[in-house]
Amino acid sequence: MSQIDDIRMQVMWNRLISVVEEQALTLIRTAFSTSVREAGDLSAGVFDREGRMLAQAVTGTPGHVNTMAEAVPHFIAEIPRAEMFEGDTYVTNDPWKGTGHLHDITMVSPSFKDGELVGFFACTAHVVDVGGRGFGADGKSVYEEGIQIPIMKFAERGVVNKDLLRANVREPNQVIGDFYSLAACNDVGHRRLVAMLGEVGLGNLDELAAFIFARTHAAMMERIAALPKGTWANEMLTDGYDEPINLAARVTIGEGNVHVDFDGSAPVSRWGINVPIIYTKAYACYAIKCVVAPDIPNNSASLAAFSIASPGNILNAERPAPVSLRHVIGHMVPDLVLGALAKALPGRILAEGAASLWNVHISVRPAAGQAGRRAEVLMFNSGGMGARPGLDGLSATAFPSGVQTMPIEATEQTGPIVIWRKELRPGSGGAGQYRGGLGQVIEIAPAEGHEFDFSAMFDRVRTPARGRDGGGPGAPGRVALDDGTLLRPKGWQHVPAGRRLVLHLPGGGGFGDPAERAPEAKADDRLKDYVTDAPE
């Protein structure tokens, strides 16, 4: 009958994945933060009582998922078992124990069945505001970047600590609303888990956890065994804030393990673009997993096959370095790691792409002497993805991030701005046998009688995405006003009334020799104006 038991375990594994999916959906439906509800900037997962991740929601973004997997053991280490009660919820936004910057709130709730601790539910979401200098690179240390919430109880036995936030953030109603959403989604997960255990007659998760980890571990070992062994290195230059930043990685594929060392990367920056290693690791693991084991569910056993090291530098910035915009450099980590893997697995790895999201935070207000309204508007936009071996790159598509854009009709309802253009950018994809994905062009103006400031957090302006195996680079990005005035790719800047901000988002690199491109593909590029005759 062990065969039947095996199948039952399998079915419960599926159920666990469904439980965390419900958890994530509850969060999306109730969240206030634009990045969560419209763009999917969140994660949800279930853990065993030792803090090992059993399953994660498919919905979510890699930077959150893989960091959350590391976060739960920190909670277990800091909150003694004797002080954990039914109805508790714990919280932190510690960048080094959570997901890399203060704007992400991670909540962990213990799950009890018949008085026994059986596991934990965790979730993470990006909230609108955490006080401090706001979402930007200008803090000189983490202390300027907002309120720091050490690992603590948000609720004990169901009673919420109400005084935590209200005085410390700019949008207290929304932020507090998001805290409740996070707690509520863990609660949904907990209720479903207890129902499942009851239905199948299990007292706890131990047997199922052992099954999941054993199966996953065996599959990962099989995949890694099939890879060539050795060490391969890669370097990549990125824009940085005021000076270019070099990133370096050495990938070693050994017996049963893939190891990445980031020694040689630039030192810690003065600006808030530093990355805590927990976030670097999240995106490094994501990149390797996409290549090695895309179909294997993400859990502690799949992540355990990868290890990361780095001396103190921009990819392992220690407290109290400023880290608010850690995603700008963090999103470059997959291209960096994939470049090394491309040497181990020639012909199998996609070219570099735009990588970092082109998020725009706009602070709009009436121009001097005019009536109007003030508003904060956040947009998520993506450049082109690198060309794949055998396939063109995806145009205007987020990678490695898992978020999505918002409709401009919805964005214009949130504040007095007009988006005059948001369309593909012809000629921006790197040439190659397979063309890089196109970037896009966006034109944003303050509504009549208004002006705005915006926080630029853009990369690949000075250092475009490189092609692979003979493919050409993608077009670099460009930040300017419609009168031609060039603006900086990072930092707060001003757009006066009557002017438009014009963003050219970078394209992805090409793959393979452009001379090898199929004639039909070339003809289609011309028919659709994906390419231009004159270089931009």
Partner 1 sequence: MTTGQDVRLGADIGGTFTDIALDLRGTLFSTKVLTNYAAPEQAILDGIEIVARDAGIAPAEIDIVIHGTTLATNALIARRGARTAFVTTEGFRDVIEMRTENRFEQYDLDIVLPQPLIPRQDRFTVKGRIGAQGQELQPLDAAALEEIAARIAAGGFGAVAIGFIHSYMNPAHEQRARDILARVLKLPISISSEVSPQMREFERFNTVCANAYVRPQMADYLLRLQERLKGMGLTCPVFMIHSGGGLVSVETAAEFPVRLVESGPAGGAIFAADIARRFGLERVVSYDMGGTTAKICLIEQFQPQTARTFEVARTYRFSKGSGMPISIPVIEMIEIGAGGGSIAWVDAMGRIQAGPESAGSEPGPACYGHGGTRPAITDADLLLGKLDPDNFAGGQIRLSVADADAAITRDVGTRLGLAPQAAAFGICEVVDENMANAARVHAVENGKDIAENVMIAFGGAAPLHAARLCEKLGIERCLVPQGAGVGSAIGFLKAPFGYEAVASQVMRLSAFDAAPLNTLLARLRDTAMGFVRSGTDGEILCEVTAFMRYAGQGWEIPVPLPDRAFAADDRAMIEQAFRARYAQFFGRAVEGLEIEFVTWSVKAQDTRPEGAKYPLTLAGTPIVAGESRAVFDPATGAEQPTAIVARDTLAHGARVSGPAVIVERETSTIVTTRFDAVIQADGAILLVRKGAAA
Q: Does the footprint of partner 1 cover residue 195 (CB under 8 A)? A: yes
Residue 367 DSSP class: P
**At its nearest, how many Å lie between partner 1 and the CB of residue 402?**
5
424 forms part of the interface with partner 1 (CB under 8 A): yes
| Number of chain positions touching partner 1 (CB under 8 A) | 89
Which residues, 6+ apart, have CB-to-CB distance to 283 below 8 Å? Answer: 62, 63, 66, 330, 331, 333, 334, 337, 400
Residues in the chain: 536
The pair of structure tokens assigned to 28 is: 């999306």
- Is residue 299 a contact residue for partner 1 (CB under 8 A)? no
| Closest to 469 (Cα-Cα) out of 528, 513, 527, 515 | 513
Task: With H, G, I as helix, E, B as strand and everything else as coil, classify residue 442.
Answer: strand
> Considering the complex, what minimum distance in angstroms separates the CB of residue 237 from partner 1?
23
Query: Which of these ranges, 47-55, 82-90, 172-180, 247-255, lies near partner 1 under the rule CB under 8 A?
Result: 172-180
Q: Largest alpha-carbon pair distance within the chain?
A: 81
Q: Which is nearer to partner 1, 191 or 229 (CB)?
A: 191
Of residues 44 through 73, those in contact with partner 1 by CB under 8 A are: 58, 62
Tokens of 201: 């007659």
What does the alpha-carbon distance between residue 181 and residue 183 come to, in Å, rounded to a whole number? 5
When asked if residue 396 is in the footprint of partner 1 (CB under 8 A), the reply is yes
Give the distance, in angstroms, between the CA of residue 357 and the centroid of all CA atoms in the same chain. Answer: 9
Please state the closest distance from residue 453 (CB atom) to partner 1, in A.
Answer: 21
Q: Rule CB under 8 A: is residue 15 a binding residue for partner 1? A: yes
Q: Does 29 bind partner 1 (CB under 8 A)?
A: yes
Residues 126 and 361: beta-carbon distance below 8 Å: no
Q: Which H or E run includes 213?
A: helix 206-225
Q: Which stretch binds partner 1 (CB under 8 A): 93-101, 129-137, 325-333, 404-412?
A: 404-412
26 binds partner 1 (CB under 8 A): yes
Tell me which of 319, 421, 494, 522 binds partner 1, using CB under 8 A.
421
| Shortest Cβ 155–partner 1 spacing (Å) | 14
Count of C-beta atoms within a 10 Å radius of residue 304: 17
Q: Is 409 in the site for partner 1 (CB under 8 A)?
A: yes
Identity of the residue, 43 or 148, whose beta carbon is nearer to partner 1 in the bound complex: 43
Tokens of 198: 């009851």
Contact segment (CB under 8 A) with partner 1 among 80-88, 171-179, 471-479, 485-493 equals 171-179
The stretch among 119-127, 267-275, 320-328, 410-418 that binds partner 1 (CB under 8 A) is: 410-418
Stretch that binds partner 1, among 22-30, 140-148, 307-315, 459-467 (CB under 8 A): 22-30
Give the pair of three-digit tokens for residue 139: 């803090």
- 390 touches partner 1 by CB under 8 A: yes
- List the interface residues with partner 1, window 104-133 (CB under 8 A): 128
**Helices within 405-516 (DSSP H only):** 408-414
Considering only 380, 434, 454, 511, the residue that binds partner 1 (CB under 8 A) is 380
Q: Indicate whether 529 belongs to the interface with partner 1 (CB under 8 A).
A: yes
| Residue 257 binds to partner 1 (criterion: CB under 8 A) | no
CA distances from 306 to 219, 294, 337 (A): 14, 14, 12
**Buried-exposed string 153-188: b where 16+ CB fall within 10 A, e elsewhere:** bbbeeeeeeeebbeebbeeeebbbbbbbbbbbbbbb
Least gap, CB of 205 to partner 1 (angstroms):
17
Contacts of 218 (CB under 8 A, 6+ apart): none
What does the per-residue mask of binding to partner 1 show for 203-242, with x meaning CB under 8 A? ------------xx-xx--xx-------------------
Q: Which of 152, 309, 391, 486 binds partner 1 (CB under 8 A)?
A: 391
Rounded CA gap, 503 and 179, in Å?
34
In the complex with partner 1, which residue's Cβ is closer, 82 or 167? 167
* Residue type (1 letter), 45: G
Residue (237 or 441) nearer to partner 1, CB: 441
Cβ atoms of 510 and 472 within 8 Å: the answer is yes
Closer to partner 1 by Cβ: residue 140 or 422: 422
Chosen residue from 403, 479, 487, 502 binding partner 1 by CB under 8 A: 403
How far is C-alpha 275 from the geometric centre of its chain's CA atoms? Answer: 12
